[in-house]
Structure 1
Amino acid sequence: MLGDFFTRALVAGVGLAAVTGPLGCFVVWRRMAYFGDTMAHSALLGVAISILLSINMTLGVFAVAALVAGALLLLQRQNTLSTDALLGILSHSSLAVGLVLVGFLTQVRIDLMGFLFGDILAVSTEDILIIYGGGIAILVLLALNWRPLLAATVSPELAEAEGLKPEISRILLMLLMASVIAIAMKLVGVLLITSLLIIPAATARRLSATPEIMALVAAVLGAASVIAGLYGSLTWDTASGPSIVVAALLIFLLSLTVPTARLFGRRENHGA
């Protein structure tokens, strides 16, 4: 009989996958994988600042990730460095500053490995409520803004011509990513969040004919990765977070054996 901790881990992981799947599709379509890493690395800085200021850790991580996203937008407008260079600076700097601040917090015992790689088996009922509450809010915002987000992804110029304000869509997407990173940090850790965003979405892209179907398939594949990874972790006594990512990788490799013809939905020529 599985313990309550394992059941809570399954429930929390499936709820997180339902959010990271659709959001990860935009990460894949927009080629934002490195940006996802930058946001994830900033989470550790958010943890350190939250402890220093004695504020809620989820809110602290979200605030820092949002500030990093805002800094990227401002620096991009100056046109002094390429986007990948800016992302490299922000990513490694925020991670390094976070680690340095953690080093100064000698009066507080911090599970650094837990923050880096997560501990989904330690999830509490309160964590589940945060995941599902925040996840539902993210999915609702994503659904309400699906058309402008998708249009801005396919062609920012066309979206601008149609009055859909692609810059606002970009800011919204960054804030949604900051939100999901804040609620996912405790489960899979700051170094593995991007994998859960990208791998199921990349797998779904090979199997889906439309953006909407791809978002749904990505969520299902993410949930399957969580379930397979947790049971694999239980069977072979491996770390739960990395096991989930390995399961997602195996599903992706398995998908490579499937012909490129889309399995879900009718084929359409869409830009995403």
Structure 2
Amino acid sequence: MTFLDSFLIRAALAGVGVALAAAPLGCFVVWRRMAYFGDATAHAAILGVAVSLAFSMSVFTGALVMALIMAIAVSTLSGRGYAMDTLLGVLAHSALAFGLVAVSFLQGVRIDLMAYLFGDILAVSRADLGVIWGGAVLVLALLWWRWSALLTSTLNPDLAYAAGIDPKREQLVLTMALAVVVAVAIKVVGVLLIAALLIIPAAAARPFAATPERMGLYAAIAGIGSALGGLQLSFAYDTPTGPTIVCVAAGLFAVASLVSMVRRGVQG
């Protein structure tokens, strides 16, 4: 038996891969207050799943394409007469509804809709692992390459312009990275929980990080701990794995918030 023959080993590697990709990106989502943007992109992925099955394409390809289309649509329509939260709410829920309706029209295709909505990490195959880790490496390489420019445009767009950095271009980089993370995370936590895996580890790391780089590192540690802890608890208590991973992340956030409040109380 080889190392990857165990479904638990494959599941653990998948969780670690998604956590590594989501953690630094999640920091930018938190800094830029893009939580609803992540939701809208993730919800569009279910429509991508329907398109993939209808045309016998890879689910990853369909989800990635639809996530990119949604992200670009949001970026294009923002500032054109609608408040951002209203626009994101309309697009996110519309994309999810159209995706669910489209899936119902597929004839002769067996589909476990719950697996796409909430993830099915225990069913990750070797091919899925290749896609997940390939996507994670791509996202990490993209963020490593653009880290300074992304950080400058996030903290102060005017300063970015003065330094010769185009904030709109950096927004597009984030959009592309977010679409890739959504596409690779579907198998692990599903479209309804992807935003949680992006936001919660980064939010838990924020009170303890003195620099943006440390926040990214701590978020990665929190994300990996959530994935592995959720997987172990799910296996032990026979609970849904994707939601259990998010529950562990929420627990870490609660502990981090409590520790932060205690520290502020002692210092005050």
Is this a same-fold pair by TM over 0.5?
yes
What is the correspondence of 1:109-258 to structure 2 with a 5 Å cutoff? 109-258=110-259
Q: CA deviation at 1:130?
A: 1.1
1:46 maps to what in 2?
A: 48
Q: Does 1:5 align with 2:7?
A: yes
Q: Does 1:57 align with 2:59?
A: yes
Letter in 2 for 1:25: C
Letter in 1 for 2:109: V
- Summarize deviations over 1:138-182 as a string: whole Å, max 9, x none: 101100000111011101121112111000000110110000100
- Summarize deviations over 1:4-46 as a string: whole Å, max 9, x none: 1111111110111111111100000000001111011001000
1:32 maps to what in 2?
A: 34
Q: CA deviation at 1:261?
A: 9.5
Q: CA deviation at 1:257?
A: 2.4
Letter in 2 for 1:62: L
SS in structure 2 of the partner of residue 106 of structure 1: coil
- Summarize deviations over 1:185-233 as a string: whole Å, max 9, x none: 0111000111110000000101111000000110011000011111111
SS in structure 2 of the partner of residue 259 of structure 1: helix
| Aligned length in residues | 260
TM-score, with length taken from structure 1:
0.92
Is the CA contact 1:206–1:260 (under 8 Å) kept in the aligned structure 2? no
SS in structure 1 of the partner of residue 165 of structure 2: coil
Matches of 2:260 and 2:83, distance apart in 1: 37
Runs ≥4 residues deviating over 6 A: none
Letter in 1 for 2:120: D
Cα RMSD of the aligned pairs, angstroms, is 1.5
Q: CA deviation at 1:109?
A: 1.1
Matches of 1:170 and 1:202, distance apart in 2: 21
Task: Provide structure 1 residue ranges, at least 5 long, that are not aligned to the other structure.
Answer: 263-272
2:93 maps to what in 1?
A: 92
- Summarize deviations over 1:248-267 as a string: whole Å, max 9, x none: 011111112223699xxxxx
Q: Which protein has the bigger helix share?
A: 2
Matches of 1:193 and 1:76, distance apart in 2: 22
Is the CA contact 1:44–1:95 (under 8 Å) kept in the aligned structure 2? yes
1:69 maps to what in 2?
A: 71
Is the CA contact 1:207–1:260 (under 8 Å) kept in the aligned structure 2? no
Matches of 2:117 and 2:165, distance apart in 1: 38
Q: CA deviation at 1:241?
A: 0.5
SS in structure 2 of the partner of residue 80 of structure 1: coil
SS in structure 2 of the partner of residue 258 of structure 1: helix
Task: Provide structure 2 residue ranges, at least 5 long, that are not aligned to the other structure.
Answer: 264-268
Is the CA contact 1:207–1:261 (under 8 Å) kept in the aligned structure 2? no
SS in structure 1 of the partner of residue 85 of structure 2: helix
2:19 maps to what in 1?
A: 17
Matches of 1:118 and 1:259, distance apart in 2: 32
Matches of 2:262 and 2:255, distance apart in 1: 15
SS in structure 2 of the partner of residue 238 of structure 1: coil
Identity of aligned residues (%): 50
